[in-house]
Structure 1
Amino acid sequence: MINQKWLCTFMDLVETGHFTKTANNLYMTQPGVSQHIKKLEIQLKTQLLHRYDKQFELTRAGQLLHQYGLASFKLNKQLKSQINFDDPYTGLCSIACSGAIAIDLYPDFIDYQALHKGLKVELEAAPNQSIIKGVLENTVHIGIINQQVQHPQLALQKLGNEPLLLILPATYATKTLDFDSLNELGFINHPDGFEFVDKVMNANQFSGYMGSDSLTISGYVNQLSQILLPVAKGIGYTVLPERAVKQFNHPEALHIPVLSQVVNDPLYIITKRHSALALRYQWFIDKMQQRLC
């Protein structure tokens, strides 16, 4: 790599055309200027100046170095300008959250992106652990999760609470609600299924429930929009956030029993603790707080 101090001396010398003027500009001695040029020539293993009668002309190598210096200084100037200017309407916005929240937020995000073409919005629907991993690995800059995390590299900001609902087929509205009858029906699992059902079962003290190993599984669905379909068809039951139920097109096919203990799932914004977010993320954070608090 070319020594930047020597390069600055060379560039000033080309501009002034005089060793004494360059020495004055850079608060150096004239022999100091000559030494910088000599060191550059040694580093590049070529002559940069043809000296004659206290004047000089650039060699071909000197001309190429001058062009390089101009381009380098221009790039440095552009970089400083970009560093000092944080455009709120340009750049990648990488966000991850649950499928239910993604469906709720995405229309607003797309409307905003349509107004600001320089933005690129990447919204991923993912379970908690994938979101946490993405934030830690810098592939996700903002996440929304429903669990507290103790990690020195992560910062959490409480958004609010979201009720978790036990959801059965409508035909079960008049049936006895206990763990045996639920297990006979079977659980429709999903990426957050075991976590959600565990919270609801424990809070309401369903006798016989001994963790996920005690569940009869009737199926697994990865796509949020499809999770309630087997429930509506009478194939099983599940547990989901309230907003996921509100987004389902056939609520008449579902039964939501009233439980003795309402389980509120906390929501947190998760970010990298020691990594400042670009200004463009502030609108998205404000929108999350508006919609989810």
Structure 2
Amino acid sequence: MNKLLWMQCFVRAVETGSFSAVARELGIGQPNVSRHIASLEQDLGTRLLHRSTRQLVATPEGQRYYAQARVALDAIARAESDARGKQNPHGLLRVACPAGLGIEKIIGVLPEFMARYPDVELDLRLGDGYVDLVAEGVDVAIRGGVLKDSALRARRVGMSERICVASPAYLARHGTPQHPDELLRHECIVYTLLAGSGWPFKDGEVHVRGRLRINSLEGIRRAALDGMGIAYLPAWMVMEHLGGAAASKEPQRLQRLLGEHAAPLTPLNAVYSAERLLPHRASVFIEFIAAVFAETPGLAIRPGQTVR
């Protein structure tokens, strides 16, 4: 009888709302998950979950058991971490981050991280949508903005500035805006995953319009490079295309616009659940990424930066 495994299956089923998600996470097959939870219910002599074809809902007894089981599992994880010491991070680390940031600034440094910590396995989840850390079993997520969710904790690992850019060819055809209000007369490439269409500036938002809408920041950059309109992008995504001493030797393919009207910078945080033990493998990853971003143009934290 492996009551610990039964407990893990039940807790994660409550948190994910899905037997199949728990099966994928634990690598044991969906029928086994169902069987383990049924065994737990039989052992306890009570129903813990109401099952239907659409959802799993904890019974009142299940809710009480979940709260105490979650504490017990965290205590076990903490005891194992203390026993192993701080010198040997190990196990599976699940990290979520925006696709562009992951592809361009994180994947390239992973060989160094994984060589430094050979007992850590990494599940990197790239996407620009919202991630529920608890429901999806994610240890750490990299997010921009000020933390508002009291169920999470954050460690600032960088700063991100969003800037307006356009290609010289587009500006030659349509002119260069001198004030944010003039964007209303331009083709602006709209990011559809951004809530609303407002582009923030020092003196407020401008609700831009444009015929081209894209759900990918990489796609927006490509469209801007091809002269299809004005884009509003993280500075680190376009540094190499701006020309000048701070960029690479590539010719200038994009021009920064409205720099004097720029909004304050946005914090870039590593966030994790406030109610779960942060594994040692996660804490060393956060320290590693913070050090990488500190050396990355467009992401480094500098003294005296204004934050919004």
TM-score range, shorter chain: 0.5 to 0.7
The change in CA–CA distance for 1:184 and 1:194 in structure 2 (over 3 A counts) is farther
CA distance in 2, matches of 1:140, 1:273: 13
Q: Which residue does the alignment assign to 1:220?
A: 213
Pairwise CA distance, 1:104:
0.9
Please show how residues 221-236 of structure 1 align to structure 2 within 5 Å.
221-236=214-229
CA distance in 2, matches of 1:142, 1:99: 15
In structure 2, which of residues 228, 231, 252 is the aligned counterpart of residue 238 of structure 1? 231
Where 2:252 maps in the other structure, the secondary structure is helix
**TM-score normalized with structure 2 length:** 0.56
| Aligned amino acid, residue 245 of structure 1 | V
CA distance in 2, matches of 1:81, 1:275: 13
Q: Which residue does the alignment assign to 1:256?
A: 256
Q: Is the 8 A contact 2:90 2:281 kept in 1?
A: yes
Identity %, equivalent residues: 15
2:84 is the counterpart of 1:85: yes
Q: Which residue does the alignment assign to 2:268?
A: 267
CA-based RMSD of the aligned residues comes to: 3.4
Pairwise CA distance, 1:114:
4.5
CA distance in 2, matches of 1:291, 1:273: 24
CA distance in 1, matches of 2:284, 2:225: 37
Q: Is the 8 A contact 1:98 1:145 kept in 2?
A: yes
Pairwise CA distance, 1:81:
9.3
CA distance in 1, matches of 2:240, 2:218: 8
Unaligned runs of 5+ in 1: 3-78
Q: Is the 8 A contact 2:180 2:261 kept in 1?
A: no
CA distance in 2, matches of 1:282, 1:254: 37
CA distance in 2, matches of 1:276, 1:80: 7
CA distance in 2, matches of 1:205, 1:151: 24
Where 2:218 maps in the other structure, the secondary structure is helix
Number of residue-to-residue matches in the alignment: 206
Q: Is the 8 A contact 2:221 2:233 kept in 1?
A: no
1:114-138 per-residue CA deviation (whole Å, 9 max, x = no partner) reads 45443222222333x613x2x1324
After the TM superposition, list the runs of 4 or more consecutive aligned residues in structure 1 that deviate by more than 4 angstroms.
79-83, 114-117, 178-181, 191-197, 247-251
Which has the larger displacement, 138-147 or 245-254? 245-254
The change in CA–CA distance for 1:115 and 1:268 in structure 2 (over 3 A counts) is closer
CA distance in 2, matches of 1:270, 1:195: 24
Please show how residues 1-293 of structure 1 align to structure 2 within 5 Å.
84-85=83-84, 88-102=88-102, 103-114=104-115, 116-127=117-128, 130-131=130-131, 133=132, 135-171=133-169, 172=171, 175-178=176-179, 181-190=182-191, 193=194, 197-200=198-201, 203-205=202-204, 209=206, 211=207, 215-246=208-239, 252-263=252-263, 264-292=265-293, 293=301
CA distance in 1, matches of 2:230, 2:108: 29
Q: Is the 8 A contact 2:78 2:277 kept in 1?
A: no
Look at both structures and tell me which one has the larger radius of gyration over its CA atoms: 1
Pairwise CA distance, 1:106:
1.8
Which has the larger displacement, 146-155 or 171-180? 171-180
The change in CA–CA distance for 1:80 and 1:167 in structure 2 (over 3 A counts) is closer
The change in CA–CA distance for 1:247 and 1:104 in structure 2 (over 3 A counts) is farther
Pairwise CA distance, 1:285:
0.8
Where 1:137 maps in the other structure, the secondary structure is helix
Q: Is the 8 A contact 1:164 1:240 kept in 2?
A: yes
Pairwise CA distance, 1:225:
3.2
1:214-238 per-residue CA deviation (whole Å, 9 max, x = no partner) reads x323323344433212112221111
Q: 1 or 2, which has the higher helix percentage?
A: 1
1:118-173 per-residue CA deviation (whole Å, 9 max, x = no partner) reads 3222222333x613x2x132432111212223333211223342221111222327
Pairwise CA distance, 1:182:
2.8
Where 1:260 maps in the other structure, the secondary structure is helix
The change in CA–CA distance for 1:156 and 1:195 in structure 2 (over 3 A counts) is farther
Q: Is the 8 A contact 1:161 1:267 kept in 2?
A: yes
